Amino acid sequence: MALDPREITIPILKTCYSSLNFSGTVNPYVFNNLMGLNASGKKYRGIIAESPFEKKNIKALVIEGINTKRNNRTPHMYRKMIQKIDEVLFCTPANVGIFCASYKILKGLLSNGIEPVVKKNKKKLFIEELGTSASENALLLQDFKSMALDGGGVLLGVCGGRNSEGEDYPGDTMNSVIIAGFPYHLPTPRVEAKIGYYDKVFNKQGWTFAYLYPAIQRANQASGRPIRKIEDKGAIIFLDSRFKSKLNWISNWIKDQIEIVPDNKNAITQQLFPFWSLN
């Protein structure tokens, strides 16, 4: 992706009579600035359309008591995350996706005992691995989706990956999705440089445009994987309390349904069991 796409987009926009831009997850305010719509000499209007999905078919939860900030990534925290995941698996009739903020969190869940919990809930674990070829990944997804008819599977992957953004899971091929951690990128020199550049050209909004927004975009993309058709029913679980303070950035069709779940035993079960029992 270009650091500053306006060098390309503004000349094109100036030659157009009008342009229409669609997205299911993009924030209009950020898109307007990054693409230069308001700098093309034309009027700009952002419209957030009503969701076509029935509210009764969507359950969205933010779980308190979990914070995957780097200093908190201890065995105790990973085991606590797995306890929460256990409740989701227990309630979900078929397939579940778990998209982690990073491969480090994915490995933390594996090394702290997520596999026995998956087996306890009579589901099969599928793990997205670095370096997997496209054909190998396609077979992995095929096997995972087939488990919708055989007790259910659990796909353990990462936000921002091909399985959390470029793949659809309609019907029972993914009933519930868990966003495990807030998917910030590591503050590398590249990211820091991008924040500094955006601070200069977007009036001190570098952190928002270059750090917060891409993380939210990855979460929004992953959270929409189970809801692909009008009749789909899905549960979206944000497994990091930091989402609570960033609700305004979550896609409206999800945000309008979000409930905050306290850090209590069986609190997730109390929310999800009735939701799926009325399937």
pLDDT in tens, 185-236: 888 999 999 999 999 999 999 999 999 999 999 999 999 999 989 999 999 9
Same domain, 91 and 176: yes
One domain for residues 76 and 114: yes
Instruction: Dump the DSSP string for the chain.
Output: --S-THHHHHHHHHH-S------SS--HHHHHHHHTGGGTTS------PPP-S-GGGEEEEEETT----GGG-SHHHHHHHHHHHHHHHHH-SS-EEEEESSHHHHHHHHHTTHHHHHHHTT-EEEE--TT--HHHHHHHHHHHHHGGGTT-EEEEEETTSHHHHS----GGG-SEEEEES--PPP--HHHHHHHHHHHHHTTS-HHIIIIIHHHHHHHHHHHTTT--STT--EEEEEESGGGGGGGGGS-HHHHTTEEEEPS-TTHHHHHHHHHHHT-
* Claim to verify: residue 14 and residue 77 sit in the same structural domain: no
Q: Is the pLDDT of residue 78 over 70?
A: yes
Q: Are 17 and 137 contained in the same domain?
A: no
CATH of residue 136's domain is 3.40.50.300
Indicate if 27 and 135 belong to the same structural domain. no
Q: How far is CA 105 from the centre of its chain?
A: 14
Is the pLDDT at 86 greater than 90, yes or no? yes
Determine the pLDDT at residue 1: 58
Of 34, 49, 64, the last residue of a domain is 49
Query: Pick from 11, 33, 49: which residue ends a domain?
Result: 49
Q: Which residue has the higher pLDDT, 52 or 139?
A: 139
Q: How high is the pLDDT of residue 47?
A: 82
In a shared domain, residues 154 and 240: yes
179 in the same domain as 85:
yes
Which residue in 277, 268, 270, 272 sits closest to 84, CA to CA?
Answer: 268
pLDDT on residue 198: 94
Whether residue 256 is found in the same domain as residue 122: yes
Quick one: pLDDT at residue 29? 87
Q: How confident is the model at residue 279 (pLDDT cuts 50, 70, 90)?
A: low
Please write the tens of the pLDDT for every residue from 124-173. Answer: 999 999 889 999 999 999 999 999 999 999 999 999 999 999 899 999 99
Given 32, 49, 66, the domain boundary residue is 49
Domain that holds residue 167: 55-277
List, for residues 104-115, the tens digit of each pLDDT value. Answer: 999 999 999 999
pLDDT at site 122 = 97
Residues 241 and 177 in one domain: yes
Residues 41 and 146 both lie in one domain? no
Q: What is the mean pLDDT of the chain?
A: 93
pLDDT at residue number 117: 98
Mean pLDDT for 34-52 is: 85
At residue 49, the pLDDT reads 81
Instruction: Give yes or no: residues 115 and 203 share one domain.
Output: yes
- More confident position, 11 or 187: 11
Q: Indicate whether 85 and 166 sit together in one domain.
A: yes
High-pLDDT (> 90) share of the chain, %? 77
Question: What local confidence, expressed as pLDDT, does residue 40 receive?
Answer: 87
Residue-wise over 149-171: b if at least 16 C-beta within 10 A, else e? eeebbbbbbbbbbebbbebebbb
Sheet holding 58-63, edge to edge: 124-127, 153-158, 96-100, 176-180, 234-239, 58-63, 258-261
Q: How many domains does the structure of the chain reveal? A: 2
